[in-house]
Structure formats: structure tokens, C-alpha cells
Structure 1
Amino acid sequence: MSAPTGRVTPISGFPEYLPADRIVEQRFLDVIRETFELHGFSSIETRSIEPVERLSAQGEDADKEIYGVSRLGGSPDDWSPASGRDDARWGLHFDLTVPFARYVVENAGRLSFPFRRYQIQKAWRGERPQEGRYREFTQADIDVVDAGSLAQHFEAEMPLVVADVFSRFPVGEFVIQVNNRKIPEGFYLAIGLTDVVGTLRIVDKLDKVGPENVASMLEEAGASSEQAAACLALAGIRSADLGFVSAVRDLGVSHPVLDEGLDALSAVMSTAMEYAPGRVVADLRIARGLDYYTGTVYETALVGYESWGAVCSGGRYDALASDGRTTYPGVGISIGVSRILGLLLGQDLVRASRSSPAAVLVAVTSEESRARSVAVAGALRSRGIPCEVAPRADKFGKQIRYAERRGIPYVWFPGASRETDSDEIKDIRSGDQVAADATTWECPPEDLHPTVDRVG
């Protein structure tokens, strides 16, 4: 096979990181995975493709975002359902919740419920690439699913996990916004709006188009001006404590479903106020656009960068997974890893301390003595110290500059002591150089691995 020639044209919406930025991504994923496991979630991975009809059933715009999968040797006719071909019905998953629901149904007999799962994978959406939105991106999800019924206390657990993740990684200040879809559902029904899903979808556009446009859209959909005003009044309620309950009651609307939603959201907020004070707020404009959410919903924003949109979202779903006999309700939340990194890296808000994982560059005195340098590197690696052997036996000044360009803090010189033929190691930041033995030298803990730090 011949290599491609000519200019390489990048494909937009498919982020690829340089080594230093990749270190930032890996550290973020490490924090996410470690935190998920601290909370008792088990890792799974699902296939990349699902039947198109299952993917397209999850919202009015879902089919527009699905990337179809077919063989290059196929023909357009193969995409017709009448073709009977399996690959005519496959699409790349656009989130991890839909494939997870299928996974639960297929493996229910081998899972222990309630099942606590985490999943860190790529997903794909056929939307116009822009800042923070990509065609290929990484998500990190947690879910708790049970058979038949799901205890409400799991809905309060999700924001606590997210608060732990974001507190351990330098994302800056953040706020987790929560609502319960039964609150707007009961409210809309009480004021005479029967198209609950349609109304939710319009109100969900509030941040994008503003209240005046939302009111106009509601009236175009059949709401009166009074009903539209009431919807906006509900969406305007926000509190960091239980004050949202009295604010809703003050609107003079009552309905059993509304009462259920207020009770459920109060339970979530009470837990958050105790275990993650100041991190969670009740925000009644949060709706989430996907149809399968039925209870508590979540959106997380980075303070000062709210225009970036939600970087973490999710909610409760009661009917997404079912085998016809048993329904598996669940609640989950998804961290938009690529979306967050698009902001942090794009705005230069965080940086890795170096672009190489190596803490030590082992210098090479001559090509004839390279074996000695390789032996030093082996001894250091056996003790968990990442290192690299210099690629060429250049003058030591050039080898030091090689380490500097990669941010490697130490250079090891085999046989540097002419009197004893012993080794020496140099901290190239301070210039200090001391005798060292590869079997006993300890790398300072802060230098052992690259760190990720907030800029400014």
C-alpha cells in the first residue's frame, strides 16, 4: 500500500491533541475513573453501533444527528429496509445512555441489581462543528439501574459524584443545576397545556433564544399569552436551598404531579445542601431535550463560562430499558469530557507541566556506551521512575536542550565522575548536579509525573 501524498486536509469536528494537551486529557480521565470507582461504579464498554431505529426513537432531532454505517462495497439500495441487509440499519451511537439501556436488557440475567455502571467512550453526532461541539467526542457516564423500580435516593447521588470529580480537577468554579420534569409537567397540565413534551422542548431553548422568543414560540404552539407568561415565571425560579418550593406555590398552581416533582427535588436539594454545600442549585428552567427523561434532570455549568453551555448533564428515565416483561428504570449523568477540554485548552485555562511523561532523560556519552545508559533507564523504570534514553550521543548541552524542550526536569549522566566513574544527575531547572545511583535515587514526588495546573 502506498502512502498518501500531497497536502493533508483536516476534518473538522474530530479533535486531535498534541502531547501536552493529551496529558491534560489523560489526567482528567484518570480523575473521572478514580472518582467513579470510589463511588462503587463498575466499568463497562459497549459497541459503537446500534440499530438506527432505536437511536432515532430518542428525540425529534435524533435522526438528523446519526452517522449511518455501511460497507464501502454496498450500494444506495442497501440502505433501504427492504434490502434485508443488517448494515442498512446501523448507526454510530450519539450518546452512551441508549446503548447502555440495550446492554442492560441483553445482560439482565447476569447483572446484580441495582447495577452501578460507568462508561468512558467515544460518541458521534452529525452536527455542525463549533466551539465545544464536535462530531466525535468523549463522554464519561455513570448510571444506577434497577429492576422494576428505582429508589429515589439515587437521584440525589448523581450530583455528589460530579461535585467530587470537578473538585479534584482544575476546572474552576462550577454549579450543578437540578430540576425535576414532573414540576413543569404538573404545572403545564394545571394551567391547561396538554402538549407537555412540546412545551418542554420550547422552554429548553430559553438560554439560546431568550424569554421573548420562547413566549412567541409557545403562543405559536397554541398557548395563550397568560399561559406563556406562567411558563416563563416557573422557569425563572432558582434557589440554592429549598426556597424554590414556596416560590412555585406562590404562582397559585396545584396538581398532584407537580407535588410529586417538588417533593423529589426537595430530597435531592436536601442531600446536596448537606454533602455538597454551594455546589447544587434548583433551577426550574432546566428541562433537557431528550424524551426519555422522566424525573430529576441535571445540567452543570462552569462559572464565568455559562455561554459555553452545559458541560455535564443527565437525568432519571423510567421506561428507556425494557424487555417487555420487566422495566429497568435508571438515573444517570454524563460528563462531556471533550466539551470541557475544548474550553479549558482552547481558552488556555489549564496546562500540563510537561509534554513528556518522562521525569528523567538518560544522557548517552557515546554510541559505544549506549548500553550503559539503557541499563540505567532499566533500573529507574523498575522502580517506577519514567525515563527516556537520549536519541543521539550529542554534546551534553544539546541533550540538555532536548530535555528542556519536552519539559523533562532531570538529566542523568552515566559515569560523569571522572574520579569514581559514578553517575550524576542534574536538575536542569536549578542547575544542581549531584552523584546518584539508579538503584537508590528517589525522584521527588511532584516531578515523578506531569501535573495539570490552572493558569493564572
Structure 2
Amino acid sequence: MARPTPLSGFPEWLPEGRIIEQHVLDVLRRTFELHGFVGIETRAVEPLDQLLRKGETSKEVYVMRRLHEEPGSEPDRADTLGLHFDLTVPFARYVLENAGHLAFPFRRYQIQKAWRGERPQDGRFREFVQADIDVVGAGTLPYHYEVELPLVMAEALGALREIGVPPVRVLVNNRKVAEGFYRGLGLTDVEAVLRNIDKLDKIGADAVAGLLVAEAGASEDQARACLALAAISGSDESVIDRVRALAGESNDLLDEGLDELGALIRAASVRAPGVVVADLKIARGLDYYTGSVYETVIVGHEQLGSICSGGRYDTLASDGANTYPGVGLSIGVSRLVSRLISRGLVTTTRSVPSAVLVAVSNEDDRGRSDAVAAALRARGIPVEVAPSAAKFGKQIRHADRRRIPFVWFVGGDGQAADQVKDIRSGEQVDADASVWTPPEADLWPRVVPA
């Protein structure tokens, strides 16, 4: 058989990488649950017409079909299934299907794989893990959730600092501020303005100014004003004053947006000082978000792009009679983990769960080694038994290659005491499988700064 070729865009971590990923997921899950979010999981597929209902390109959707279709059958878009490319569409469908069984506001977290047929590059994959949190209301949803959600994410990502993950910045804006400001300038094609402002980091201010004139109908003065707004950022309420000064005349929509953005900045200055930063060029979700919008970057790794984004949406789902507004954020777990691994930012204390290798003196006595391992496992200690009754030096080297810290030797004649050896220090002591426990730091593999 020829040596297999890796599939681009479908990451497969080595054991150490999987331990790192699992630790990240555990920290996120624990933080979400501390804030009262309940975990759900939705199916991997949705009808293709639902996946494409917000205008996403069909080129990015992986379509599901049987290898052998019925003769003469023509696929119908409404009946065709596609793998979901994010967790929003399946969650919207889940809310509609289960609204009668959910208590609103509904606080949900969801950690699952998604699939997107885009060109793989650094931090972008065709198969990836996302971790989402949302709060969804029935009919209405108070603004304070727009303050709470980015702070929960800041806490979750901040909890990863102890393993060596760099600090993050949660960049926030409010669509009402942008729209109120643009309309105050006399611009009516707000979507075109937002679409081009969103290109600032990629093509620069001069190119964006040209696009605003060509595509959004802006004059040169209006284009300069839009760019001046996008240049405003900061972590205190002076941001609000700068926007008001730039706008000159106010309007209801601008005032509402600035009041909301100010409330978020004030709360963040208390709960996450320096982490949440107002950035007036954040424009994501052109036809989707209706209030606060968020993007999150790793400090020192900004070129990776946002690892966590989201915002307020007034129509997550609607059945014609009821509307379900919400606010949510999504962490690109695979993007984050790939950066931690590729840049060597974190490492693991070992690549296997086992804290102890029970040596085997000869194959006839393997049952005694198995009994010791069972006794240790019953007390919550991860153990494996040596693969063969080789010389003890070879068994110790086997443990060392796997970074297993302790080797257990069963008493030779059944009367002598068992002994356990810390192969790092060389210390060897008598041990009883009913009472001996490794130090807490050695019990399970840990993720630590590199």
C-alpha cells in the first residue's frame, strides 16, 4: 500500500496536540457552565436550502449524497442535505423545533465540528471545531446580554493564560453607531459602506476611500469622515466623546448605539480591564447583526485574524408568529489550537494518560501485574501494564519514551513488598496499591507553558 497523503484542511493532531485541544475544550466548557449555559448538540446535516438561505456561496458547502443514486433521479435543493459550515443555522432550526420545550431566555453552548469548502491556510480549515455560546429570547432580549456575552468569552479565554496562551483583545462595536453615523452624513447605502470599511485591514485606507466613492455613492468628504470613524478605538468612555465630536449633529439611532456601546465599555472596565476595546471599524455580518458586534484577536498574533466573533441578531429564527432574537459568540477552537501547536506556545507533561507502568517480571506472573493495575485504576490512577516481560531496564526505557513518571515492580516472591520508582529522580520506595498515590501534578498529563 502506498504511503497515504494528508488531506489539506483536515487537521489530525498528534497525541500531545489532542491533549492540548481537550484541555482547551474542558476550560471553555467549565467556564460556560459556570455562567449557566447548557450544552446541546445538533445533527451534522441540514437541508441545503436552509444552509444557503442567507446568501452563503454553495461552493463552500459539502453536499451529502449516496454513492449510488436512484436511476434518473434529479437532486432537489430542498431535499438535498449539506454538512453545516457553522453552528448558527442548526441552532436556529433547533430553537424553532423545540421552542415549546425551552425556557427563555435560553442560554446554550455548543461545541462541535463544522465543515467549509474553502481554501485551507494558516488557521483556516475545511473541517474544524467551533465552540459557541448564545442567549436567545422569545420576542425580546434585553441589552444587558450584549454586555454579558463578550465578558464571558473574555473570562473563558483568560482562563487559558495559565497554560501559556497569550492574552486576547475583544474588539467591540455597535452597528447602530455605524449606521446612525453614516446616515447622519447623508449616506443611504449603509450596507455598501460597511462592506468596504470591513476591507480596511486588507487593502488600506486609500483603497477603501476609493471604493466608498465608487460603490457607496460617498463624496470625498463623506469617505474621509467614514474612515475617521473607523480609526477611533479605545478601552474607556472617551471613545464615545470622540464619536460625538466627529458626528457633530446627533440622531436617535446614533445616540442609542453610543449609549449601548458606553454601557459595554463601562462594564468591561470593571470586569475585564484592558481586555475589551471599542474598535469602530468592526463591521461584520453585513445583513445579519443588528446591535453589538465582536471580534477577538490574540495579542502578538493579530495576523491570524479573529479567533472569536459574533454579535446581536434580532431575528435568529422566526416561524411567522414568533421571533427569537439573540446574541452570541463563536470561538474557532481549531484555529486557536493550531496556533498554540505550530508556534510551540504550550506543551504537555506527557503524551499518554498513564501515570504508572506496572512492570512484568515474567509472562507467567502477568496476572499479578494486572491485579496491581486494577487496584490502582479502582482508585482513579491511570495505569498501563508493560507490553512484554523484557529486562527491567528495557521496561523503564519504554516508560521513559512515553514520559510515564512511575514504574511499579511487583514483589518477586509474593511476600516481598512491591516497590514504585520515580524514573526521573531515581527514588524507589515500598508501595501498596491500596494506598499509594502519585503526586497531584503527576496524576494526569498537564498542559503547561512551553
TM range (shorter): over 0.9
Work out whether residues 363 and 413 of structure 1, in 8 Å CA contact, stay in contact via their aligned partners in 2: yes
Work out whether residues 47 and 78 of structure 2, in 8 Å CA contact, stay in contact via their aligned partners in 1: no
Per-residue Cα deviation, 1:40-59 (whole angstroms, up to 9, x for no partner):
00010011111222222334
| Residues 234/174 of structure 1: CA separation in 2 closer, same or farther (3 Å cut) | same
Paired letter, 1:26: Q
Which residue, out of 422, 430, 439, partners 1:427?
A: 422
Alignment pair present for 1:242 and 2:233: no
Count residues with an aligned counterpart.
445
Which residue, out of 123, 136, 160, partners 1:132?
A: 123
Residue equivalent to 1:183: 177
Which residue, out of 204, 218, 236, partners 1:223?
A: 218
Structure 1 residues 68-79: aligned runs within 5 Å: 68-74=63-69
User: 1:9, CA displacement in angstroms?
Assistant: 2.0
Structure 1 residues 161-172: aligned runs within 5 Å: 161-169=152-160, 170-172=164-166
Alignment pair present for 1:22 and 2:18: yes
3-state SS, counterpart of residue 435 of structure 2? coil
Structure 1 length-normalised TM: 0.94
Which residue, out of 185, 189, 198, partners 2:192?
A: 198
Per-residue Cα deviation, 1:7-51 (whole angstroms, up to 9, x for no partner):
312210000011011000011111111111011000100111112
Task: Provide the identity percentage.
Answer: 60
Work out whether residues 49 and 78 of structure 2, in 8 Å CA contact, stay in contact via their aligned partners in 1: no
User: 1:320, CA displacement in angstroms?
Assistant: 2.2
Distance 2:78 2:205 in 1: 47
Distance 1:394 1:256 in 2: 80
Distance 1:66 1:231 in 2: 34
Distance 1:75 1:333 in 2: 41
Paired letter, 1:71: R
Distance 2:32 2:78 in 1: 39
Distance 1:201 1:188 in 2: 13
Work out whether residues 358 and 387 of structure 1, in 8 Å CA contact, stay in contact via their aligned partners in 2: yes
| Residues 167/135 of structure 1: CA separation in 2 closer, same or farther (3 Å cut) | same
User: 1:106, CA displacement in angstroms?
Assistant: 0.7
Paired letter, 1:95: D
Alignment pair present for 1:326 and 2:326: no
Which residue, out of 128, 132, 148, partners 1:141?
A: 132
Paired letter, 1:174: V
Paired letter, 1:308: L
| Residues 178/77 of structure 1: CA separation in 2 closer, same or farther (3 Å cut) | farther
Alignment pair present for 1:281 and 2:272: no
Distance 1:112 1:228 in 2: 46
User: 1:353, CA displacement in angstroms?
Assistant: 1.1
Work out whether residues 194 and 286 of structure 2, in 8 Å CA contact, stay in contact via their aligned partners in 1: no
Alignment pair present for 1:117 and 2:111: no
Distance 1:262 1:385 in 2: 55
User: 1:174, CA displacement in angstroms?
Assistant: 1.1
Structure 2 length-normalised TM: 0.95
Per-residue Cα deviation, 1:73-101 (whole angstroms, up to 9, x for no partner):
138975653xx872xx3221111112111
Distance 2:440 2:10 in 1: 35
Work out whether residues 52 and 91 of structure 1, in 8 Å CA contact, stay in contact via their aligned partners in 2: yes
Distance 1:430 1:447 in 2: 13
3-state SS, counterpart of residue 68 of structure 2? coil
Per-residue Cα deviation, 1:370-427 (whole angstroms, up to 9, x for no partner):
11111111111110111111111111111111111111111111115x7952111111
Paired letter, 2:156: V
Alignment pair present for 1:369 and 2:356: no
Alignment pair present for 1:399 and 2:390: no
Distance 1:76 1:140 in 2: 41
Which residue, out of 347, 352, 364, partners 1:351?
A: 347
Which residue, out of 5, 8, 14, partners 2:4?
A: 8
Structure 1 stretch displaced more, 399-408 or 130-139: 399-408
User: 1:223, CA displacement in angstroms?
Assistant: 2.1
Distance 1:234 1:133 in 2: 30
Residue equivalent to 2:438: 443
Alignment pair present for 1:35 and 2:31: yes
| Residues 342/76 of structure 1: CA separation in 2 closer, same or farther (3 Å cut) | farther
Work out whether residues 58 and 290 of structure 1, in 8 Å CA contact, stay in contact via their aligned partners in 2: no
Distance 1:168 1:79 in 2: 51
Per-residue Cα deviation, 1:299-334 (whole angstroms, up to 9, x for no partner):
111100111110111111001211110100000011
| Residues 47/290 of structure 1: CA separation in 2 closer, same or farther (3 Å cut) | farther
Residue equivalent to 2:305: 309
Structure 1 stretch displaced more, 180-189 or 196-205: 196-205
3-state SS, counterpart of residue 12 of structure 1? coil
Per-residue Cα deviation, 1:322-356 (whole angstroms, up to 9, x for no partner):
11101000000111100001111011111111100
Gaps of 5+ in 1: none
Distance 1:288 1:239 in 2: 19
Residue equivalent to 1:102: 93
| Residues 355/13 of structure 1: CA separation in 2 closer, same or farther (3 Å cut) | same
Distance 1:247 1:373 in 2: 72
Paired letter, 1:283: D
Work out whether residues 78 and 85 of structure 1, in 8 Å CA contact, stay in contact via their aligned partners in 2: no
Per-residue Cα deviation, 1:227-269 (whole angstroms, up to 9, x for no partner):
2211111111101111111110111242221111111111111
Work out whether residues 201 and 289 of structure 1, in 8 Å CA contact, stay in contact via their aligned partners in 2: no
| Residues 155/72 of structure 1: CA separation in 2 closer, same or farther (3 Å cut) | same
User: 1:117, CA displacement in angstroms?
Assistant: 0.4
User: 1:453, CA displacement in angstroms?
Assistant: 1.2
| Residues 77/255 of structure 1: CA separation in 2 closer, same or farther (3 Å cut) | farther
| Residues 282/331 of structure 1: CA separation in 2 closer, same or farther (3 Å cut) | same
Structure 1 stretch displaced more, 280-289 or 111-120: 280-289
Gaps of 5+ in 2: none
